[in-house]
Amino acid sequence: MVKQYEHLKIEDHGQLVICFLSNPPTHTFTSKGVLEVHHFLEQMEKKDDLRVLAFTGEGKDVFIKHYEVGELADSAEKNISQESESNQEASSPKELHNFHKMLLRLRDLDAIVVAGINGNTAGGGCEFALGCDLRIMSEGPYLIGLPETSVGILPGGGGTQRLARLIGSSRALDLILHAKLMTPDQALDLGIINKLVPHESFNKELILYCSDLASRAPIALRQVKKIVHHGLDVSLEEGLMMEQEAFNVTMRSSDAAKAMRALLDSENNIEEKNDFEWEGK
């Protein structure tokens, strides 16, 4: 049973769970929203039948507008005041903040995580989407990007790191330094978005996209997700060893053995049919 939240609305379809992010009227992400996602993920991490987790916006034409600027401004002013009073420079952070920890939990979740970007998103909203495994976006007059440098800061929710890993450092630098916002088509061309879908049928298309993933072998899904994410941080040789270990895991799966045998039988039947038809001629 999924508990009730203030900023999240949950649809549990068994192997597929859809989380609608809700914060009207601003549709911004807040520290309270981050805490609620953490609590929600605690439940999802214990859900044995979960294969795909999707996030989308509950608001019309907006996924997550951006992270709440008022909170960021308050934090900046507090930091300036504290440094002025102590006459000391800010110390280095001792640990990752809750937003980073939230997105790392999405990375480490066994289920595939999909961002269903149903409209505009920027800053922290774009970073949330980048923290998901896959992204589909609605067609339409929408914008997505990391415009933080236009207000004197930089993407602080993983945007510099994940965007560079996704599309390369040069392209990421160009987008971030110029605070560029992209159309859905531009984001698709750069490889930031995996698929564009019609706006009028967005929720239906999101369910179809996720249901297709959920229908696939869960052990293979988990292993592919794990080695792709963690392989980015190791040498090629280490990544190949991770792949070999993951392949061995799938090769010990009875589901995989049955599926491969069924494919082989199917191909043999087709060959026999073709031979029969050829002989008949």
Q: What is the CATH number of the domain that holds 243?
A: 1.10.12
Q: Mean pLDDT for the chain?
A: 90
- pLDDT-derived band of residue 141, with 50, 70 and 90 as boundaries? very high
Same-domain status, 96 and 122:
yes
Same-domain status, 61 and 99:
yes
Same-domain status, 257 and 155:
no
Q: Please give the share of the chain, as a percent, with pLDDT higher than 90.
A: 74
Same-domain status, 30 and 109:
yes
Same-domain status, 88 and 209:
yes
Average pLDDT, integer, range 58-81: 78
Same-domain status, 203 and 248:
no
- Pairing between strand 8-12 and 16-21? antiparallel
Q: Looking at 187, 214, 241, which one is the last position of a domain? A: 214
> Position 3: which residue type?
K
Domain count, the chain: 2
Residues 6+ apart with CB under 8 A from 103: 127, 128, 131, 157, 158
What pLDDT, on the 0 to 100 scale, is given for residue 238?
95
Asked whether residue 3 is assigned to any structural domain, the reply reads no
Q: Residue 134: give the domain boundaries.
A: 8-214
CA angle 154, 156, 161 (to 5 degrees): 90
- pLDDT-derived band of residue 4, with 50, 70 and 90 as boundaries? confident
- Residue-wise pLDDT tens digits, 241-260: 999 999 999 888 787 778 78
Q: Which residue has the higher pLDDT, 177 or 70?
A: 177
Q: Looking at 193, 214, 235, which one is the last position of a domain? A: 214
Please answer whether residues 158 and 103 qualify as being in contact, where contact means their C-beta atoms are separated by less than 8 angstroms: yes
- pLDDT-derived band of residue 275, with 50, 70 and 90 as boundaries? low
- Residue-wise pLDDT tens digits, 84-126: 666 666 567 789 999 999 999 999 999 999 999 999 999 999 9
Distance CA 115, CA 186 (A): 17
Same-domain status, 210 and 235:
no
Asked whether residue 141 is assigned to any structural domain, the reply reads yes
Distance CA 264, CA 262 (A): 5
Asked whether residue 225 is assigned to any structural domain, the reply reads yes
What pLDDT, on the 0 to 100 scale, is given for residue 254?
81
Query: Residue 228: pLDDT above 60?
Result: yes
User: Tokens 């996704």 map to which residue?
Assistant: 166
Asked whether residue 2 is assigned to any structural domain, the reply reads no
Query: Residue 24: pLDDT above 70?
Result: yes
Average pLDDT, integer, range 161-178: 97
What pLDDT, on the 0 to 100 scale, is given for residue 1?
44
Asked whether residue 117 is assigned to any structural domain, the reply reads yes
- Which CATH number fits the domain that encloses residue 126? 3.90.226.10
Q: Looking at 214, 229, 256, which one is the last position of a domain? A: 214
